[in-house]
Amino acid sequence: MGHPFFNPHNNNSTNSGEMTSAEMYVRAAKLCEYCASEFERFNALAYAFLAYKCIEVAYMRVVHSNDLTASRDLNELRTALKRVSPVESPSSSDSYVENLNSEVKVENRNITKDVGCSPAATACIIAARNHPSFVRLLNFAEDVNLAMEASRKSQAAFAAAEIILAETGNTEGISSIKKVLDIGFHDVEGLSRLIRLAIESLHKTP
């Protein structure tokens, strides 16, 4: 994993047919998922841990790179839902009411009249008009879940690997994979370096 490969600033591709960094993160995660399953099949749990850690970092980088877009989509959906709400929230500001009151009344009245539906169903219709935002938010939530799942699996694999390494007396191996466990997703170069060192220590015979 090279640093440019995980650079969130390259998230938007400028050339047709070129993958975004987020797409590369996901592809890397899928490859690591295969590696992790193979390591587990052969009971190489220390290596399975390293693979799961890579999956966790890859999806966390995807989440990080899409965070601003997800926040913007969420705000847009909230605004759309507020516009069809029959009763304004007490926390709504006067300026908000003044700016949108006329538009809300006209839009809400027209939509409800046209489709003959309840306010709740009307809200769903308005939200459906923001389908791209919904899709992006669902994908964002899925990426968060995948990152959390990988984190859970990496911690479980680490705990199992730690026991095995302790039984063989490979304290250096335990120390090296512990450093990988503790590193955050922001430092990809540091992660790559620690993984190389961990692999070297795991190859050593106590």
- For the segment 184-194, what is each residue's pLDDT rounded down to a tens digit? 999 999 999 99
Containing H/E element for 91? none
Could you tell me the pLDDT band of residue 71, with boundaries at 50, 70 and 90? confident
Model pLDDT for residues 162-184, shown as the tens digit of each residue: 999 999 999 999 999 999 999 99
Q: Which residues of 59-80 are buried (b: 16+ CB within 10 A; e: fewer)?
A: bbbbbbbbeeebeebeeebeeb
d(CA 26, CA 201): 28
Confidence of residue 91 (pLDDT cuts 50, 70, 90): low
What mean pLDDT do residues 150-169 have?
Answer: 96
Residue located via tokens 């995980």: 6
The Cα–Cα gap between 73 and 112 comes to 24
The answer to which of 49-58, 70-79, 145-154, 186-195 has the lowest mean pLDDT is 70-79
- pLDDT at position 100 over 80: no
Q: Is the pLDDT of residue 49 over 80?
A: yes
Query: Rounded to whole angstroms, how far apart are CA atoms 54 and 198?
Result: 13
Residue 83: name the closest of 62, 64, 110 by CA.
110
* Report field, pTM of the whole predicted structure over 0.75: no
What integer pLDDT is reported at residue 18 of this predicted model?
A: 74
Average pLDDT score, the chain: 79
Beta-carbon count within 10 A of 160 CB: 16
Every domain of the chain and the residues it spans: 4-203
Give residue 176's Cα distance to chain centre: 26
> Is the pLDDT assigned to residue 118 strictly greater than 60?
no
What is the DSSP code string of 25-52?
HHHHHHHHHHHHHHHHHTT-HHHHHHHH
pLDDT of residue 124: 61
* C-beta separation of 3 from 57 below 8 A: no
Q: Bigger pLDDT: 78 or 127?
A: 78
Q: Give residue 123's pLDDT.
A: 58
